Homo-oligomer: A and B are copies of this chain.
């Protein structure tokens, strides 16, 4: 990808700057997670299931921002990977999602790699700058939610 300056006035837009930063960060994270055989999206699913053991697929899908059909594919993949399992849920319609022992090991490695990536990607910022970036981003998110 070329320089933002190549886009003139629009290159000064915060939206474009934000997008470029995100694309680069996501590519870096994907590369780091690649040896673990998970994408950032799958890794996010694993982390969510770890924190919400027994949740159903619809709930997971909502958390990930995808519909039930897409959630199916994710859950199928993670099951084939041996990271999670479907157990009987609160009623006969629902599955309760749980990490397997292998999934817990994987989750730990994901957390490690993810935090290491964060440090690599944002390490150029001082601690104060990181806190400020976090504050600004949360302000942006809460606003664009209402827009």
Contacts and interface: CB of A to CB of B under 8 A. Distances in A.
Interface of A: 1-2, 6-10, 12-26, 28-29, 44, 47-48, 51-52, 62-65, 111, 114-115, 117-118, 120-125, 129-130, 132-134, 136-145, 147
Q: Quick one: copies of this chain in the complex?
A: 2
Given A6-B63, A14-B130, A129-B139, 7 more contacts: A1-B62, A15-B114, A17-B137, A17-B138, A18-B21, A21-B141, A122-B140
A20 B143 CA distance: 13
A141 B17 contact: yes
A48 B7 contact: yes
User: Which secondary structure dominates chain A's binding surface?
Assistant: helix
